[in-house]
Amino acid sequence: MSDDVPTDVETVLTQLFAAGQDALDDDDIDTCRQVVGSVESVAANKLADGERKARLLHGCERVRKLLAEEEYTVAVEYLRAMDEQLTDSED
């Protein structure tokens, strides 16, 4: 099965990653948690099984943990890295 990200799914995820980063920039941790939940839902339901999906789901878990540990700067970097996963070449 292809690991390509459909254009509409990529658009939604990119918007969610930006929203999560913006929320953290505004110290709105609850909104960021909600955004991460949305990312996880979209990734789980709309991406084909494969490395990209697994990395994004792992990233969601990691961001949740970072938020709980109040490591907000690192959480923003994780969100940026997850966004970059969308445009990485095929694994």
For residue 53, the tally of other CB atoms under 10 A from its CB is 17
What integer pLDDT is reported at residue 3 of this predicted model?
64
What integer pLDDT is reported at residue 64 of this predicted model?
97
> Which residues, given as ranges, of the chain have pLDDT below 50?
1-2, 90-91
Whole-prediction pTM: 0.89
What integer pLDDT is reported at residue 86 of this predicted model?
82
CA dihedral 15, 16, 17, 21 (to 10 degrees): 100
What integer pLDDT is reported at residue 68 of this predicted model?
97
Dmax (CA) for the chain in angstroms is 39
Query: Would residue 46 be called left, alpha or beta, if left means φ above 0 and alpha means ψ between -120 and 50 degrees?
Result: alpha
What integer pLDDT is reported at residue 41 of this predicted model?
98
